[in-house]
Amino acid sequence: MTELGVKWSCEYCTYENWPSAIKCTMCRAQKPSATIITADPFPGRTDPTAGHPWDPVLICPDSSARPRVRSAQSVEPSGKWSCQVCTFLNWPRSVRCTQCRSLRATEAPSGTGRPASDPCEEYNDRNRLNMRVQCWTCSGCSYENWPKSPRCVVCDQPRPNDAYQPGEPDEINELSAVINETERRRARGVCSGARRPSPSSSAREPELQIELAAGAQSGRDEREVDFKKLKQIKNRMRKTDWLFLNACAGVVEGDLTAVEAYKSSGGDIARQLTGDEVRLLNRPSAFDSGFTLVHLAIRFQRQDMLAVLLTEVSQRAVKCIPAMVCPELTEQIRREISASLHQRKGDFNCYFLTDLVTFTLPADIEDLPPAVQEKLFDEVLDRDVQKELEEDSAVINWSLESGSRLDSRLYALWNRTAGDCLLDSVLQATWGIYDKDSVLRKTLHDSLHDCSHWFYTRWKEWESWYSQSFGLHFSLREEQWQEDWTFIINLASQPGASLEQTHIFVLAHILRRPIIVYGVKYYKSFRGETLGFTRFQGVYLPLLWEQSFCWKSPIALGYTRGHFSALVGMETDGCDNRGAGANLNTDDDVSVTFLPLVDSERKLLQIHFLSAQEMGSEEQQERLLRDWLDCCVTEGGTLAALQKSIRRRRHPLVTHMLEKWLDGYRQALACPSDGEDDDDDD
């Protein structure tokens, strides 16, 4: 049976309900006190209760699927507005769409100055909000990026487990365009969601907002202005700027690749973070205005980063060291080193090398013309390290007697600026090659692990004495000592990780010979500022071996600002014996380099990792040095260690490699002369 009476229209969804309905059938809203006439079931009849004729049916001229009517007494204006998102017809005084809660196109909030919402953009914003759970968080600046972004839109950090690499400028410009378009859409503050309002929440009009890139605290207008500023900054960014921000994030996260990429692109190490760049990085706890990469490396204790940042490699010449000339010979030498490694049986089962090899520059260099010699030294030496150790800090070659009369000048070989510089310098000082395959690093880790108790006892006793001698009166629990020791062992197993004094001590046992480190006393920035105190300079003796099992001829390393370099001498002919003036009984085959055991102030170099019984006065330490090294006192009164190398007994592979290397300079010398002969013949 058809229900008679006047239908009433819901004021929320405009659905026509039967007169007996108390709530709207569609949205369950309460029946209003005044109803809208939608039909006249009995034309010409009067309402007995109202006492006046019923109004005729008035069909609203719109494009709705069903006719809409209004009452003659209605106070609403005549025209409804259609929602641009869902096309729902809303009453004129509605500020938002009743169905999807989208703002009315002509009713934008006052004071924002923004145009009406684009329905397509509103639709994209709603979809973007639904995808928010799929965003990935940048490990550098904690910014949430869209799933398809290969890099962080703020700091250009690669997505985790993503092999995407920085591309050419065209690729970066394309990526920046995508970033800007994405962030422009993200700036919109309202996300439309298809939700049905409940009667209890009809008085509230909740507004879902998308989080802005700058992380503004509050206020939609403030976020809008802040984001526009960030967008302008990004539009001005160049490839070098993105590489710099990526390097800053790399220092914080320990990504050495990002730092090397910025440096290799010609980036300025002295560049400082600006306020705008700090805002882009969006990590106030890590980045401050005025900070450089060096400051960040110090703040986060990235010693390997300091080596890359502070060691400026000379660009005046392409580097050409003997190991680069003949890769086949270099591989044979590496196999020879691996074959000469053995593990000692017994309680102290440390690894050791069976061969005694010392690398020196060949005397044939002096036969080359001065111009060719200068070119050779530019390509094989690290001029910056040489200058810092020799002139700035007076660490090496400070004695005229050693450099001139004894012909014991030390040369700093060029070395890679990676975290393996210590291991590379050790192999350069012995065999003249790099630890490319990490053979020495693996041996170092295995020796630390297998002889952990022996080295741990020495390390703990030395660290305790050292802290007390500098007035650092603190004590650690055994758990803390064990934790620090585990960290030292783990460093040895990580390629590229910077190493410490303990690792040099272990390397002295692997080589079975002393290691002398000539190093600067302080870390200094590129502006000459003192950044910290170094502890590397001194003598490292293989104290855990028997003296009869070790050689007394040491090797020398240089240490500058977190970077190690091999210090080698130049051999001479037998008739020009370097031992002149020191009363040495040497034959014609032996070449001797005098390595001072005192600094420029005539103070004895520190001996590292001594036990309590071995520590004593300076005279006792000098006797200890004489026991472990071949020592002599020069005519000038300098205590020095003798580094001996036998020219004719040099390893044949190393000799062959040096000859190949020198042939390149000899051929370069012969080419111009051949041209001159041709001119003379003409």
What is the structure's pLDDT at 609? 95
Please tell me the number of Cα atoms within 13 Å of 35 on its side-chain side. 22
- DSSP helix/strand/coil, 81: strand
Q: Give the pair of three-digit tokens for residue 578.
A: 């370097």
What is the structure's pLDDT at 624? 95
Determine the Cα–Cα distance for residues 206 and 197; give it in Å rounded to an integer.
10
Over the stretch 589-645, which tens digit does the pLDDT of each residue have? 788 999 999 999 999 999 999 998 888 888 999 999 999 999 999 998 999 999 998
b/e per residue 393-414 (b: at least 16 CB within 10 A): bebbbbbebbbebbbbebbbbb
Q: Which of 563, 608, 632, 651 is catalytic?
A: 563
Over the stretch 235-250, which tens digit does the pLDDT of each residue have? 778 888 888 898 899 8
What string of H, E and C letters represents the secondary structure of 426-489? HHHHHCCCCCCCCHHHHHHHHHHHHCHHHHHHHHHHHHHHHHHHCCCCCCCCHHHHHHHHHHHH
Determine the Cα–Cα distance for residues 290 and 287; give it in Å rounded to an integer.
9
Domains in the chain and their CATH numbers? 1-79 (no CATH), 119-301 (1.25.40.560), 322-456+501-664 (3.90.70.80)
608 is catalytic: no
Q: Are 616 and 625 in contact (CB under 8 A)?
A: no
* DSSP conformational letter for 381: B
Please tell me the number of Cα atoms within 13 Å of 660 on its side-chain side. 17
Q: How far apart are the first and last CA of the chain?
A: 126
Strands 81-82 and 89-90: antiparallel
Chain CA centroid to CA 175, Å: 22
Residue 539 sits at φ, ψ, to 5 deg, of: -110, 135
- DSSP helix/strand/coil, 120: helix
DSSP state letters, 335-374: HHHHHTEEE--SSS--EEES------B-GGGGGS-HHHHH
Which residue is it, tokens 């009995």?
42
Average pLDDT, the chain: 76
Over the stretch 463-476, which tens digit does the pLDDT of each residue have? 888 777 665 666 78
pLDDT bracket for residue 682 (50, 70, 90): very low
Mean pLDDT of 290-316: 71
Q: Are 92 and 76 in contact (CB under 8 A)?
A: yes
Chain CA centroid to CA 566, Å: 26
- pTM of the full structure: 0.57
Closest CA to 238 of 277, 194, 296: 277
What sign has the CA pseudo-torsion 602, 603, 606, 610?
positive
Which carries the bigger pLDDT value, residue 625 or residue 582?
Answer: 625
Determine the Cα–Cα distance for residues 402 and 409; give it in Å rounded to an integer.
7
DSSP state letters, 152-185: -TTT-PBPTT-------HHHHHHHHHHHHHHHHH
Determine the Cα–Cα distance for residues 453 and 481; give it in Å rounded to an integer.
13
What is the structure's pLDDT at 310? 67
**Of the ranges 142-151, 259-268, 421-430, 608-617, which is most confident?**
421-430
Residue 601, classified by CB atoms within 10 Å of its CB into exposed (0-12), middle (13-18) or buried (19+), is: exposed
Chain CA centroid to CA 439, Å: 25
Closest CA to 567 of 425, 380, 394: 425
Q: Is 51 left (phi over 0), alpha (psi -120 to 50) or beta?
A: left
563 is catalytic: yes
pLDDT bracket for residue 5 (50, 70, 90): low
Determine the Cα–Cα distance for residues 538 and 608; give it in Å rounded to an integer.
7
Over the stretch 327-372, which tens digit does the pLDDT of each residue have? 889 999 999 999 999 999 989 999 999 999 999 999 999 989 999 9
Q: Is 45 left (phi over 0), alpha (psi -120 to 50) or beta?
A: beta
Q: Are 119 and 84 in contact (CB under 8 A)?
A: yes
Q: Are 463 and 353 in contact (CB under 8 A)?
A: no
- DSSP helix/strand/coil, 219: coil
Which residue is it, tokens 């992380």?
215
Q: Are 15 and 24 in contact (CB under 8 A)?
A: yes
Q: Distances in Å between the alpha carbon of 120 and those of 177, 192, 519, 611? A: 20, 11, 66, 77
What is the structure's pLDDT at 470? 60
What is the structure's pLDDT at 105? 74
Helix H or strand E segment including 631 = strand 631-633
Closest CA to 214 of 253, 247, 186: 186
Residue 304 sits at φ, ψ, to 5 deg, of: -65, -30
Give rounded-to-5 percent helix, strand, coil for the chain: 40, 10, 50
Going by C-beta distance under 8 Å and a sequence separation of 6 or more, which residues neighbour residue 647? 363, 571, 574, 589, 590, 591
pLDDT bracket for residue 281 (50, 70, 90): confident
Q: Which of 24, 421, 451, 632 is catalytic?
A: 421
